[in-house]
Amino acid sequence: MQILYKFLFFISLCFLSKVSFASDGLDSIINSWLSPISNKLAGIVFYSFSIAGADIKIIVLWLIAGAVFCTFYFNFINLRMFSHALDLVRGRYDKPNSKGEVSHFQALSTALSGTVGLGNIAGVAVAVSVGGPGATFWMILAGFLGMSLKFCECTLGVKYRVINSDGTVSGGPMHYLSAGLAEKGKATLGKFLAIFFSICCIGGALGGGNMFQANQSFQQFVSVTGGDASFFADKGWLYGLIIAVILGFVIIGGIKSIAKVTSRLVPLMAAIYLVAGLIIILLNISGVPEAIIRIISEAFSPTAAAGGALGALIIGFQRAAFSNEAGLGSAPIAHAAVKSDIPVTEGLVSILEPFIDTIIICTVTALVIVITGMYDERGDLAGIALTSAAFAKTIPWFPYILALAAILFAFSTMIAWSYYGLKSWCYLFGNSNISENIFKFIFCIFVIIGSSVSLGSVLDLSDSMIFLMSVANLVGVYFLAGVVKKEINEYLSMITKGKIKRTDIN
């Protein structure tokens, strides 16, 4: 049956790719229609006020507050249980007969594939350009705090997941908002927030998790294959079709197929990017101490960048929030599919996500930009162009590798967000094969559209919806934090009493 679905997907996508996506046609119509809605919603969601020259977004404060709360409420779980999390992801506490669909490592890889993306390449460069090297320090701190928030929301994702009749799993904020808040006597509020979250997640998946990724990876691909002279320069639809077909073949197989791909793709793409970054750092090792001192000193310097120390803090925290998605509620959907009968184990595994995404990968990007001198020589360069120039200064041919990494990052992000959107879609419209395949088909069509046109208003709207997910999600986190605390205390008690042991010492 899956082979038939894949064949039909391929034929349908080939047919629809013939539709003309003229840059002054479809995209201008969509932009003109959505622009008023998008601008209004973005103005509300990303409302900001200025302090000492730094613009502070309310939604970012909301996420920071959740991360700080979880860090202290769970007594720095991100530090205390870090080594235990490594043991869990290595399978040292696995039980083969546990309910679920994927291993701890595969669940982590799927969630990481949604967060490790173009933000690590382009977003960090923007943060350093605007906030100065000091923004890196605050970005690392935000990643550290986000580890505790991920622990809480991903524990809830497994705690309140639903095991379907066919053995598949459905989990995420929509389930712990509806079921968890019902336990607290707030069933109506929980149901409303679950529906609100699902709608926002679908919109975010189709926009930021799909069209933006397709569009940006296409632009980078064209830039290293000849620019305006590239064969693909005016064939975004063809690039989109190729990506959509490959993506369709992956996502039709469900979470097991997705996890199988991401568990190989994520380590590969991270390794490619990190190895190149570490080579540059080693070749410029003499400049590392100075770079670290500069990052720390400018984090507290009143004249370091726009807005001074406060500006660096805000920009660093914003970039981390955009990068690791702690608090948005996306990751619990992937982590809920894990094979485990103890919810808190996957919560502990999830603390590694912001650590890898923000503390390691984003820090390597920032260090390369600073130690190569490109921060001081950047001129008008920003985003992925600045990152590419910084790497190219030491490795001239690296822009080609960066283009490959950007495509892999974008593809893995699309895979993860297809699953997030699907589970939200199924929460609203049911888990039937027809319902699932309708969403998967729509998702693949949006890849072609995203590669073919400039959809500024659509992307602004989807960004707003992604961050609106956190409004509903963090309400659930605050209401249900006590449930998670009980879970972790019981788990630690079982370890102390010897009821849970590592498989390699049994």
The rounded percent of the chain whose pLDDT value lies above 90 is 14
The mean-pLDDT minimum among 1-5, 26-30, 326-330, 472-476 falls in 1-5
The answer to whether position 147 is within a domain reads yes
Sign of CA dihedral 282, 286, 289, 291: negative
Task: Find out whether 363 and 277 touch, Cβ atoms under 8 Å.
Answer: no
Which of the residue ranges 25-29, 109-113, 271-275 has the most confident prediction, judged by mean pLDDT?
A: 271-275
Mean of pLDDT values over 341-351 = 87
User: 367 lies in a domain?
Assistant: no
* Burial of residue 31, with CB atoms counted within 10 A of its CB: 0-12 exposed, 13-18 middle, 19 or more buried: middle
Rounded to whole angstroms, how far apart are CA atoms 149 and 161?
A: 18
- Least reliable range by pLDDT among 52-66, 228-242, 350-364: 228-242
Secondary structure element (H or E) that encloses residue 54, with its range = strand 54-57
Q: What is the pLDDT of residue 506?
A: 44
pLDDT of amino acid 199 = 92
As a whole number, mean pLDDT of residues 293-299 equals 80
In terms of Cα–Cα distance, which of 51, 450, 477, 13 is closest to 252? 13
d(CA 106, CA 100): 12
Is residue 83 in some structural domain?
yes
Contact 125, 387 (CB under 8 A): yes
14 pLDDT higher than 60: no
Q: What is the mean pLDDT of residues 9-24?
A: 50
Say whether pLDDT at 22 is over 50.
no
Helices (H), 178-337: 181-183, 187-206, 212-223, 236-251, 254-283, 288-299, 308-324, 331-335
Q: Does the residue 18 lie in any domain?
A: yes
pLDDT at 432: 77
Q: Which residue has the higher pLDDT, 310 or 321?
A: 321
User: Which residues, in sequence order, are bridge partners of residue 50?
Assistant: 55
Q: Is 170 helix (H, G, I), strand (E, B) or coil?
A: strand
SS3 letters across 395-447: CCCHHHHHHHHHHHHHHHHHHHHHHHHHHHHHHHHCCCHHHHHHHHHHHHHHH
Q: Among 60-74, 366-380, 433-447, which stretch is predicted with the lowest mean pLDDT? A: 366-380
Question: Is 469 domain-assigned?
Answer: yes
Q: How confident is the model at residue 4 (pLDDT cuts 50, 70, 90)?
A: very low
For residue 476, pLDDT over 80 is answered with yes
Total residues found in the chain within this entry: 506
3-state secondary structure of 162: strand
* DSSP at 361: I
What tokens does 274 get? 């990190």
**Taking the CB of residue 497, how many other CB atoms lie within 10 A of it?**
8
Chain centroid, CA 347 distance in Å: 16
Phi, psi of 341 (to 5 degrees): -100, 0
C-alpha 343/C-alpha 104 separation (Å) is 11
Average confidence score pLDDT of the chain: 77
- pLDDT, residue 20, reads 46
The confidence score (pLDDT) of residue 1 equals: 46
Beta bridge partners of 170: 162
Which tokens is 485 given? 């605390």
* Residue 336 Rama label (left phi>0; alpha psi -120 to 50; beta): alpha
> Do the domain assignments include residue 300?
yes
Residue 227 belongs to a domain: yes
Max mean pLDDT among 20-24, 190-194, 497-501 falls in 190-194
Question: What amino acid occupies position 58?
Answer: I
Least confident of 13-22, 114-123, 235-244, 288-297: 13-22
Q: Torsion over CA of 333, 335, 340 and 346, rounded to 10 degrees?
A: -130
pLDDT score at 120: 66
Ranges 150-164, 448-462, 484-498: which has the least confidence? 448-462
The CB density around residue 320, as the number of other CB atoms within 10 Å, is: 34
Contacts of 404 (CB under 8 A, 6+ apart): 272
- Pick 495 or 252 by higher pLDDT: 495
* Distance (Å, whole) CA 422 – CA 201: 9
User: Mind listing the pLDDT tens digit for each residue in 206-262?
Assistant: 887 888 777 777 777 777 666 666 666 666 777 778 878 877 777 776 566 666 666
Residue 483 has pLDDT above 90, yes or no: yes
Q: What's the rounded mean pLDDT across residues 97-108? A: 71
Give the closest residue to 23 by CA, choosing from 207, 215, 206, 209.
215
In a domain, 475, yes or no: yes
Of residues 381 and 44, which shows the higher confidence score? 44
State the CB neighbour count (10 A cutoff) for residue 440. 22
- What does the alpha-carbon distance between residue 400 and residue 194 come to, in Å, rounded to a whole number? 43
Which is it for the CA torsion 132, 138, 142, 144, positive or negative? positive
140 in Cβ contact with 304 (< 8 Å)? no
Q: Residue 305's pLDDT is what?
A: 52
pLDDT of res. 28: 60
**Residue 467 burial by CB count (10 A; 0-12/13-18/19+): exposed, middle or buried?**
buried
Does the pLDDT value for residue 360 go beyond 60? yes
Dihedral pair phi/psi, residue 497, rounded to 5°: -85, 0
The amino acid sitting at 286 is S
Number of domains in the chain: 1
- DSSP-derived secondary structure letter, 457: H
pLDDT value for 114 = 63
3-state secondary structure 374-397: HHHHCCCCCHHHHHHHHHHHHCCC
In single-letter form, the type of residue at position 174 comes to M
Question: What is the rounded CA–CA span in Å between residue 76 and residue 17?
Answer: 51
The whole-model pTM stands at 0.82
Domain residues for the domain of 210 are: 2-268+288-352+391-505
Longest dimension (CA), the chain: 68
The model's confidence at residue 302, banded by pLDDT at 50, 70 and 90, is low
Question: Would you say residue 50 has pLDDT above 90?
Answer: no
Token pair recorded at residue 362 = 């984003």
Coil, strand or helix at 55:
strand
Q: What percent of the chain has pLDDT over 70?
A: 73
Q: Give per-residue pLDDT as tens, 82-92.
A: 888 888 887 77
